[in-house]
Structure formats: C-alpha cells, structure tokens
Amino acid sequence: MSREWQQTRFKEFVMPDAVYYQSIWAVRDLRRMENRIREIDRDVSPSYDGSLVSDRCRDFSSKRPTEKKAMEKILLQTRIKAIQRELYQVPEAYRDCVLNNVAFRKESFSCNPKIWKIWKQRFLYNVAKNLSLM
C-alpha cells in the first residue's frame, strides 16, 4: 500500500501525522458507517430475552440493547454528518476526485492534480476539526 502524503504548501492545513491518518480512515469508513445505520434501522427485535430483575448485577448495560443501539446510531450519524458537511464545502468539480482518492485510493486524472490535492488537504483538515481530532 502506498503511503499518504500531506500537502505542506499551506501551513495552516498541516496536521500531525496521527491526526491526518485518523481523518483519512474516518472518511474511508464512511460506507461501513452508513451500512451500519441501515442495519440498526432494520433490526427492531429486542436481542435480550432474560429477566431484568437481578440482585447481584449492578451493570445493566448488557440488558439495554435498545439504548446501546440508539447511542451507536447517534455516534455514527454525528461522524457521517461531520464528513459529509465538509465534503459539500469542496467545489463540486473536485468532490469526486477528492473522495475517490481518499476513500478508494484512486488517483484522479480528470482534475488538475495541484488543485484537487489542495482541496483534499483542506477537506481532511476540516474533517479532523469536525471530529474533534484537533
């Protein structure tokens, strides 16, 4: 796998490497997160059939599947919105180039490489800000 490189031309968008890679992997995880939300929406049956009465059990988190799924859904929706909000800040002409490069590791030859790479850096920087990584 080839290594990802940050654009260093605009110093205000340069991130620590760890943050840069976290924002890349968050964007790459976008499709899985959307599929997981659809799974949660389809699954309406309770997964716990036991009794809620217990004298010895103080942790009832395993017995609250609905709450657990709701929290997971809210977290996923927040992450998806943070990524999509920044994707819509990228000009429409460069959106596909940026997303295909980040999410699918495809080099884009249909756009000017200097320009879409600048937009890629801005996009990843703002995704990191929205996800509270910076």
* CA distances for 124 relative to 15, 62, 95, 118, 129, angstroms: 9, 36, 12, 10, 9
What pLDDT was estimated at residue 1? 44
pLDDT digits (tens, 9 = 90+) for 84-108: 999 999 999 888 888 888 888 887 7
Tokens of 56: 């010895």
pTM over 0.85: no
In the structure, what pLDDT confidence band is assigned to residue 60 with cuts at 50, 70 and 90? low
